[in-house]
């Protein structure tokens, strides 16, 4: 928040692992390796809230991510 006296750095993990997928719709002339891709899979979601220090009284000091 611009009104608060501090900035916070929040590190998160957004991916639990990679899973191979293959898209074959309408791509008859492409080699199989061109159709394969790694995608990120999510195991679960966690919502967190951090309190930003140094905020004036009229500013809500919470940031949810």
Can you list the domains of the chain with their CATH numbers? 1-64 (2.10.90.10)
| Helix/strand/coil percent split, the chain, to 5 | 5, 30, 65
pTM of the entire predicted model: 0.51
How confident is the model at residue 24, as a pLDDT?
Answer: 60
35 and 22 Cβ atoms separated by less than 8 Å: yes
> pLDDT tens digits for 28-52?
666 666 666 666 666 677 888 999 9
Helix (H, G, I), strand (E, B) or coil at 57: coil
């Amino acid at each position: 928040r611009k009104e608060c006296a501090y900035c916070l750095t929040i590190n998160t993990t957004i991916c639990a692992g990679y899973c191979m997928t293959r898209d074959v719709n309408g791509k008859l002339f492409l080699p199989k390796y061109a159709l394969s891709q790694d995608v990120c899979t999510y195991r679960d979601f966690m919502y967190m809230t951090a309190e930003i220090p140094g905020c004036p009284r009229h500013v809500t000091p919470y940031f949810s991510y």
